[in-house]
């Protein structure tokens, strides 16, 4: 292109100059023809000729510089366009967003590398398939199937309008899992047409964001279920606490915080308050009890030692309390507090006191058995306690009335021991047998808690106390004791344990859910917010604070401050959406722009909905906030890159092609029509042999085959292609492989028309061939001149010197010339030296041996001369004894060898030179080596 512009400039200037001069000459002839005798006219014609030619010369020079300036500007623009083309083409191929082009029928015609990576397919699998192919199994966000007419690509083609931010799922062919995509479809129109000729589909992999949202929904669901379980557990705990008179408390080091359940307040008789009234609590316990509690609490907080303390309260009504406490640890195994339960054991204490009192009375005076039985019977009725006695000698069992009621026995007399043992569970039976054996054999009393099924098939837990009966010889002759139904107490204990476990599991699940929710929010930059309209209180998660550029320590700013950070349009949209949400209950989902309190420019997505109470009254709003700045920025970059790529691809003068591994065309740039006269549809899916010259086809097939096999780039290749008109033009192409998982799946070529350059190259080659012939002829002429000079020296100067030397030798023999004999000897020696020098000059100019014996013998002679003259060892080897060469070839070979050896002697500082002369079918090979330091 540059050469064409420069040539056109020269042609325009030269053409203008010639045409103007012709005009002046023709006008001169016309003047001479009509005014031949008018001298003034002739003078004017002469003046006109000089002035006209001068004017033409000046204007032609000005025109030349103007066109030269134009050429310079055009050349700069072409260079800049080429740089932009390369940069944006590289940007297109290396974008992180997937880009695909589809025709009006929805068939994909071209894609970039990112789209192949996202969908896990090869270019061959994707190009030519439908955008709604069953291979992708596209689905909506709710995983329902996507109908073809609802695909964003088809929708953009049908409506002629862009479709933005459509979320779809597509099956990744590599992982066989769904990849979630955010699609934007933009229809493209040709000038003057109302229907799009293709659609550009840009999609981004948002699988991580989608998965985070799904995890967020799942976490919310689990959280709701956990809260329900916690509520149920709390209900059961409260009911169990009321039945068993048990309450819970907790103390946290951080902030010195106390927590009492409702039953604790009731047990201690304290008014409900937050924090609990600890001062009033200290007034209803003794100093000794307070000291015991303080010591136990310190051991628990410092050493992790749990405690279980019973004490009496200082109140009008006697109340006994049991406090059981365990330490609370954090993740670092540090004690951060303590928790436990408080139980009202007044009834149990009263029963124990009564039982103790009864035992004492029984031991003091056996005659008061009836009274004791009466008291025992009354106490039994109150505390579900029965008395029994077993006579070991008669094996008879005596029961109080309460025993029959507890065990559900309807007989008149107590059953035997075998019948009673059947009622016990296996574990309780083992405990009873062991305790009975020790009582009978050693006289050891026992107190056991046993599990049984009574005669009425009711499941019971009982506490049995037995003491041995001794005779006068202190032998055990029986046992007596009491049996208490503790089923309700056990049930309360079991329910309490289950409630504790449920509460602990729920708390752990709640903590995990909150952690997952918080981590998912941080990853997806999604935060939660809530506004209580009654208290006007705003609650934010950590991510919302980050988005708005503040911290939880500073607190959430008021709503007026928040609105001021949005731009005018976003503020109006948010105000209207909030008003409609409050007044009409309409939820909203907005993309807004703001500059936060840290002066950071952000794009956010704000979603909100109304909150109503059970009466349907509006009480506030809640929603989520997401930072979508990166997503927005990527979409804008993708749009700009796409526009620039399309601009460059549609307007570049070079031909850009995408090939399958078999060289068939998958894509050709629009410059195809300008360069070769074809339409793109003419060559799509056709191999290169349809346009490449048959003689040049092997060049491309071999080069592209190596590129596909080895993954290497292809350098500049020159070849001929057929123009649609039928004539051939010259192309120069570069090739680059396209990889997928380390395998070449396609390759791209960039080609340009070099026909003018090839024509110029042919001219240069012809010129170089002529120059080479001329150089050879000059060398031959030079050697012929040297040969003639050498012949003249040999034939004339050398002969004259020989004759002179012979004459002097004759003069030395004459007797009358003895007086000048010394002078004659001096002249004779100088003539000999001159003769030797002339012989050397003759051999250096044109060695006669070269023409007489040939190049091989000449080189043997030459190496001997070098060894003798320079004291350097020279070895000459040849695989032939002789070779027929023309004079010019022989002298050129000799001169080349002579030049190399001379330079070696001068510069290499070598002691050995080796010359190898080899002849084969292809020609002559000469290798010259030395052991020096190089030239």
What pLDDT, on a 0 to 100 scale, did the predictor assign at position 9? 61
- Residues 826-841: what's their mean pLDDT? 77
pLDDT of 590 > 60? The answer is yes
What pLDDT, on a 0 to 100 scale, did the predictor assign at position 25? 60
pLDDT of 541 > 70? The answer is yes
Q: Write out pLDDT tens, residues 123-164.
A: 888 888 887 777 778 888 777 887 777 788 888 888 888 888
Q: Write out pLDDT tens, residues 471-528.
A: 888 888 888 888 888 887 777 667 656 655 654 554 455 455 444 445 545 555 778 7
Q: How confident is the model at residue 663 (pLDDT cuts 50, 70, 90)?
A: very high
Helix (H, G, I), strand (E, B) or coil at 640: helix
pLDDT of 376 > 50? The answer is no
The partner residues of 736 in beta bridges, in order of sequence, read 748
Helix (H, G, I), strand (E, B) or coil at 165: strand
Tokens 């959430």 found at: 556
Q: How confident is the model at residue 412 (pLDDT cuts 50, 70, 90)?
A: confident
How close are the terminal C-alpha atoms of the chain, in Å?
44
Of 560 and 725, more confident: 725
pLDDT of 719 > 90? The answer is yes
What pLDDT, on a 0 to 100 scale, did the predictor assign at position 82? 66
What pLDDT, on a 0 to 100 scale, did the predictor assign at position 677? 92
Q: How confident is the model at residue 219 (pLDDT cuts 50, 70, 90)?
A: low
pLDDT of 362 > 60? The answer is no
Q: How confident is the model at residue 788 (pLDDT cuts 50, 70, 90)?
A: confident
pLDDT of 782 > 90? The answer is no
pLDDT of 218 > 50? The answer is yes
d(CA 544, CA 315): 53
Q: Write out pLDDT tens, residues 247-301.
A: 788 888 877 788 888 888 888 888 887 778 877 777 888 888 888 888 998 888 8
Please enumerate in sequence order all residues whose Cβ is within 8 A of that of 103, keeping only pairs 6 or more positions apart, or say none.
109, 197, 198
Range scoring the smallest mean pLDDT among 536-540, 646-650, 931-935: 646-650
**789: closest CA among 826, 736, 843?**
843
The H or E element spanning position 360 is helix 346-364
What pLDDT, on a 0 to 100 scale, did the predictor assign at position 89? 59
Helix (H, G, I), strand (E, B) or coil at 903: helix
d(CA 280, CA 97): 69
The partner residues of 737 in beta bridges, in order of sequence, read 747
pLDDT of 659 > 90? The answer is yes
Q: How confident is the model at residue 1 (pLDDT cuts 50, 70, 90)?
A: very low
Q: Write out pLDDT tens, residues 73-123.
A: 767 766 766 665 655 555 556 666 788 888 888 888 888 887 788 888 888
What pLDDT, on a 0 to 100 scale, did the predictor assign at position 92? 58
pLDDT of 771 > 50? The answer is yes
The H or E element spanning position 904 is none
pLDDT of 167 > 90? The answer is no
Q: Percent of the chain, pLDDT > 90? A: 11
The H or E element spanning position 531 is strand 526-532
Q: Percent of the chain, pLDDT > 70? A: 78
What pLDDT, on a 0 to 100 scale, did the predictor assign at position 367? 44
What pLDDT, on a 0 to 100 scale, did the predictor assign at position 526? 78
Please enumerate in sequence order all residues whose Cβ is within 8 A of that of 366, keeping only pairs 6 or more positions apart, or say none.
none
**Exposure of 276 in the CB half-sphere (CA atoms within 13 A):** 22
Q: Write out pLDDT tens, residues 681-715.
A: 899 999 999 999 999 999 999 999 999 989 889 88
What pLDDT, on a 0 to 100 scale, did the predictor assign at position 161? 86
pLDDT of 583 > 80? The answer is yes
> What is the number of H-type helices and E-type strands within the chain?
28, 28
Range scoring the smallest mean pLDDT among 170-174, 795-799, 812-816, 817-821: 795-799
What pLDDT, on a 0 to 100 scale, did the predictor assign at position 207? 76
What is the token pair recorded at 751? 């080609």
What pLDDT, on a 0 to 100 scale, did the predictor assign at position 926? 95
Q: Write out pLDDT tens, residues 12-60.
A: 667 666 776 666 666 656 555 555 555 445 554 554 555 666 666 677 6
- Residues 340-350: what's their mean pLDDT? 80
What pLDDT, on a 0 to 100 scale, did the predictor assign at position 226? 53
| Tally of residues, the chain | 935
**462: closest CA among 397, 403, 537?**
403
- Residues 193-213: what's their mean pLDDT? 79
DSSP per-residue letters across 510-551: HHHHHHHHHHHHHHHTEEEEEEETTTTEEEE-HHHHHHHT--
Q: What is the mean pLDDT of the chain?
A: 78
d(CA 554, CA 11): 79
Tell which phi-psi region holds residue 741, choosing left (phi > 0), alpha (psi between -120 and 50) or beta: left
Please enumerate in sequence order all residues whose Cβ is within 8 A of that of 529, keeping only pairs 6 or more positions apart, or say none.
538, 539, 540, 541, 544, 608, 622, 623, 624, 625
Helix/strand/coil (H/E/C) assignment for every residue in 565-581: CECHHHHHHHHHHHHHH
Q: Write out pLDDT tens, residues 304-335.
A: 889 888 888 887 777 888 888 988 888 888 88
């Amino acid at each position: 292109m540059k050469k064409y512009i420069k040539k056109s400039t020269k042609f325009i200037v030269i053409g203008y100059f010639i045409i103007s001069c012709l005009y002046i000459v023709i006008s001169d002839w016309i003047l001479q023809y009509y005014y031949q005798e008018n001298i003034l006219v002739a003078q004017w014609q002469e003046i006109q000729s000089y002035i006209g030619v001068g004017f033409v010369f000046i204007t032609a020079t000005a025109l030349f510089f103007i066109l030269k300036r134009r050429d310079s500007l055009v050349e700069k623009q072409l260079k800049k366009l080429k740089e932009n083309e390369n940069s944006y083409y590289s940007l297109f191929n290396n974008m992180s967003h997937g880009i695909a082009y589809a025709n009006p029928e929805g068939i994909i015609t071209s894609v970039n590398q990112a789209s192949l990576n996202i969908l896990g397919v090869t270019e061959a699998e994707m190009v030519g398939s439908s955008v709604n192919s069953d291979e992708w199994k596209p689905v909506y966000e709710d995983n329902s199937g996507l109908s073809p007419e609802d695909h964003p690509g088809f929708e953009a083609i049908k409506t002629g309008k862009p479709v933005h931010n459509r979320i779809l799922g597509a099956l990744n062919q590599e992982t066989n899992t769904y990849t979630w995509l955010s699609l934007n479809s933009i229809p493209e129109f040709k000038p003057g047409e109302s229907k799009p000729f293709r659609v550009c589909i840009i999609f981004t992999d948002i699988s991580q964001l989608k998965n985070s949202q799904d995890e967020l929904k799942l976490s919310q669901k689990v959280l709701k279920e956990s809260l329900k379980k916690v509520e149920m557990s709390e209900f059961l705990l409260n009911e169990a606490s009321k039945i068993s008179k048990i309450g819970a408390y907790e103390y946290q080091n951080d902030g010195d915080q106390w927590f009492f359940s409702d039953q604790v307040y009731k047990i201690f008789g304290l008014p409900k308050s937050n924090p609990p009234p600890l001062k009033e609590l200290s007034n209803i316990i003794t100093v000794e009890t307070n000291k015991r509690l303080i010591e136990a609490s310190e051991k628990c907080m410092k050493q992790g030692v749990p405690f279980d303390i019973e004490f009496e309260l200082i109140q009008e009504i006697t109340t006994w309390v049991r406090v059981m406490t365990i330490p609370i640890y954090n993740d670092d195994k540090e004690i951060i507090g303590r928790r436990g339960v408080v139980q009202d054991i007044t009834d149990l204490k009263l029963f124990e006191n009564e039982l103790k009192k009864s035992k004492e009375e029984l031991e003091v005076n056996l005659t008061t058995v009836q009274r004791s039985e009466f008291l025992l019977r009354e106490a039994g009725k109150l505390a579900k306690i029965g008395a029994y006695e077993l006579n070991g000698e008669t094996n008879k069992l005596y029961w109080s009335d309460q025993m029959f009621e507890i065990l559900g026995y309807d007989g008149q007399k107590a059953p035997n021991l075998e019948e009673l043992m059947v009622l016990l569970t296996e574990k309780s039976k083992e405990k009873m047998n062991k305790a009975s054996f020790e009582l009978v054999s050693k006289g050891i009393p026992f107190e056991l808690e046993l599990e049984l099924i009574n005669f009425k098939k009711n499941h019971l837990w009982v506490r049995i106390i037995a003491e041995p009966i001794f005779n006068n010889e202190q032998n055990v002759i029986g046992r007596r004791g009491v049996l208490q139904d503790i089923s309700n107490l056990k049930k309360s204990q079991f329910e309490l344990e289950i409630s504790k476990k449920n509460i602990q599991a729920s708390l752990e699940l709640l903590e995990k859910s909150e952690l997952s929710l918080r981590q998912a929010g941080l990853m997806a930059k999604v935060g939660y917010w809530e506004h209580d309209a009654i208290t006007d209180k705003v609650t934010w998660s950590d991510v919302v604070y980050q988005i708005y550029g503040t911290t939880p320590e500073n607190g959430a700013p008021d709503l007026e401050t928040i609105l001021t950070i949005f731009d005018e349009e976003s503020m109006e949209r948010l105000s209207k959406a909030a008003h409609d949400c409050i007044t009409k209950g309409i939820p909203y989902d907005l993309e807004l722009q703001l500059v936060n309190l840290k002066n950071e420019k952000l794009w956010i997505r704000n979603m909100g909905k109304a909150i109503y109470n059970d009466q349907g009254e509006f009480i506030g709003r809640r929603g989520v906030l997401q930072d979508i700045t990166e997503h927005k920025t990527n979409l804008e970059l993708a749009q700009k890159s796409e526009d620039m790529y399309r601009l460059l691809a549609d307007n570049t003068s070079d031909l850009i092609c995408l090939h399958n591994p078999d060289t068939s065309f998958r894509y050709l740039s629009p410059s195809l029509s300008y360069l070769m006269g074809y339409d793109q549809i003419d060559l799509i899916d056709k191999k290169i042999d349809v346009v490449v010259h048959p003689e040049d086809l092997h060049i491309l097939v071999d080069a592209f085959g190596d590129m596909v096999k080895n993954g290497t780039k292809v350098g500049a290749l020159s070849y001929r292609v057929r123009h649609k008109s039928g004539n051939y033009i010259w192309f120069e192409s570069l090739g680059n492989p396209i990889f997928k998982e380390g395998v070449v799946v396609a390759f791209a070529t960039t080609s340009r028309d070099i026909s003018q350059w090839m024509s110029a190259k042919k001219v240069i080659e012809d010129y170089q061939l002529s120059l080479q012939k001329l150089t050879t002829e000059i060398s031959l002429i030079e050697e012929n001149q040297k040969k003639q000079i050498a012949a003249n020296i040999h034939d004339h100067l050398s002969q004259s010197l020989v004759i002179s030397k012979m004459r002097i030798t004759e003069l030395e023999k004459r007797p009358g010339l003895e007086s000048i004999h010394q002078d004659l000897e001096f002249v004779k020696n100088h003539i000999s030296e001159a003769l030797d020098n002339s012989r050397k000059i003759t051999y250096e100019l044109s060695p006669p041996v070269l023409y007489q014996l040939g190049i091989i013998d000449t080189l043997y002679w030459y190496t001997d001369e070098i060894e003798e003259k320079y004291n350097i060892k020279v070895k000459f080897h040849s695989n032939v004894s002789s070779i027929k060469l023309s004079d010019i070839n022989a002298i050129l070979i000799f001169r080349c060898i002579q030049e190399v050896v001379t330079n070696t002697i001068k510069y290499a500082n070598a002691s050995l030179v080796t010359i190898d002369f080899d002849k084969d079918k292809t020609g002559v090979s000469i290798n010259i080596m030395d052991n020096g330091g190089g030239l």
